[in-house]
Amino acid sequence: MTQHFVSTLFVIRSYFTWLPASVVSVLMLVVVGVLAFYCGNLVTTQLLRIPGSRKAALIRRIVSSLRRPTRLMVALLAMLSALPAATGFTAAQEDDLQLFFLFLLILTFGFSAIMVFRIMTEVYLNRLAAREETDDIMIRSHQTQIRVLRRLTEILVGIVTVASALMLFPSVKQYGLSLFASAGAASLIVGLSARGLLTNLIAGVQIALTQPIRMEDLIIINGDWCWVEEINATYVVLRVWDWRRHIVPISYFLENQFENWTHNSAAIIGVVFLWVDYQAPMDKIREILNEIVRGCPLWDGRVFDVQVADCDAHVMSIRIIASARTALQSWDLRCDIREKIIARIRDECPEALPRSRFSMMPPAAEAQEPWERMAPPISRPPPGSYMGPGMGPGSSSMSSD
């Protein structure tokens, strides 16, 4: 088929012998490339019109994303096939054009492979996200593995594609061989320079396999509640509750200690502490709390208890525990319990509210100072009497008839 195609080009070329050979060769390659480009466009358009089931939808999506790379590859293949008929070029020029077309073809093929792999993984992730389960460890594990390994695969395919394309040129090939041959000091310098990158790449593989963190895990880092929003090949994006973002190297999660509240399950037990007076009726408070918690839709119905956890000279400390499906629901559940129990205690048993007490007592005789015990008593006039000027304790009171 290729020979028939080249023979046809020679026949067409014979009609343009009145033009310079180099001009005819360039025009022939351009025309062949343009025709092949539009033929590829026609083929992809017809494929997109094919109706079908769910699998056909995936094929149509892949074809739609690869329309431009497919056209370019078809055009490059057509120009490579037509190159023997371009007799207007010298042997060196023909070799250079062939290397250039192969270079572009390899890069386009590698880019297409990355696009197909990305589309297939995105379709799988979308199917996982469409499931009804809100707390499925398997779903989050698959999401983490696919996202991390996909980025590592894209980096690896990109490096191999560029290296393969560059190795076509003799000068680059000789440089690469000499670099591998003198792998002593050069490899040491490159390894030290890329130590951080290689550490994070290897840590990314370990994260994907061991999974100390997963997508949408709730972790505590630097005192902040954070959700794992994105796991890249070298870093992790953490979303804080106030919409801030922490950008953390992925190796951090293998070298440092952190809390993961959703490692095995998103369910968690929340704790509420309440301080009440010693006169608080505990039986009634337990009944009120039982009514509040069981009537709250955020409680998952698994764990609930009320206990006197501690006390001091002034108040008692009551610990209330209640479980929820997620950590965020646990936070809302605890806030709801606090608001309702404070209002009920204030309205129904105000004696349970904490208060401060003190008493004033006269000092005992033994506790008085010696000079206080030896001092004579001070005589005071009887109630209702009047002491005028010049009248002391020894003067007699004057009464009027």
How far is residue 92's CA from residue 105's CA, in Å, rounded to a whole number? 20
Q: What is the pLDDT of residues 320-376, one digit of tens each?
A: 999 998 888 888 999 999 999 999 999 998 888 888 877 777 766 555 555 455 555
Give the DSSP per-residue string, 179-211: HHHTTTHHHHHHHHHTHHHHHHHHHHHHHHHH-
The answer, yes or no, to whether residue 171 has pLDDT greater than 50, is: yes
Coil, helix or strand at residue 219: strand
Residue 99 tokens read as 């290397």
Confidence of residue 197 (pLDDT cuts 50, 70, 90): low
The answer, yes or no, to whether residue 165 has pLDDT greater than 60, is: yes
Q: Which residue has the higher pLDDT, 281 or 400?
A: 281
How far is residue 328's CA from residue 4's CA, in Å, rounded to a whole number? 70
Across the chain, mean pLDDT equals 75
Question: What's residue 339's pLDDT?
Answer: 94
Q: Which residue has the higher pLDDT, 246 or 86?
A: 246
Question: What's residue 377's pLDDT?
Answer: 54
Lowest mean pLDDT across 14-18, 32-36, 275-279: 14-18
Residues 6+ apart with CB under 8 A from 134: 266, 325, 326
- pTM for the complete prediction? 0.53
How far is residue 186's CA from residue 152's CA, in Å, rounded to a whole number? 25
The answer, yes or no, to whether residue 243 has pLDDT greater than 80, is: yes
How far is residue 117's CA from residue 109's CA, in Å, rounded to a whole number? 12
- Of 350, 348, 275, 360, residue with least CA distance to 310: 275
- Find the mean pLDDT for residues 45-74: 70
The answer, yes or no, to whether residue 169 has pLDDT greater than 90, is: no
Question: What's residue 366's pLDDT?
Answer: 56
Q: What is the pLDDT of residues 200-216, one digit of tens each?
A: 777 777 787 778 888 88
Question: What's residue 115's pLDDT?
Answer: 87
How far is residue 380's CA from residue 383's CA, in Å, rounded to a whole number? 9
- Find the mean pLDDT for residues 100-125: 85
How far is residue 364's CA from residue 278's CA, in Å, rounded to a whole number? 29
Question: What's residue 401's pLDDT?
Answer: 37
Coil, helix or strand at residue 197: helix
Half-sphere exposure of 110 (CA within 13 A, CB side): 19
Coil, helix or strand at residue 299: strand
Asked if 160 and 110 count as a contact pair (C-beta separation under 8 A), the reply is yes
**DSSP assignment letter at 156:** H
Q: What is the pLDDT of residues 260-296, one digit of tens each?
A: 888 777 788 889 999 999 989 999 999 999 999 999 9
**DSSP assignment letter at 212:** S
Confidence of residue 46 (pLDDT cuts 50, 70, 90): low
Q: Which residue has the higher pLDDT, 7 or 216?
A: 216
Give the DSSP per-residue string, 26-76: HHHHHHHHHHHHHHHHHHHHHHHT---SHHHHHHHHHHHHTHHHHHHHHHH
- What is the 3-state composition of the chain as percent helix, strand, coil, each rounded to the nearest 5? 55, 15, 30
- Report for 51-65, 113-127, 272-286: range of highest mean pLDDT: 272-286
Question: What's residue 211's pLDDT?
Answer: 80
Tell me how far CA of residue 143 lies from CA of 27, 129, 204, in angstroms. 51, 9, 14
Q: Which residue has the higher pLDDT, 10 or 44?
A: 44
- Find the mean pLDDT for residues 88-107: 80
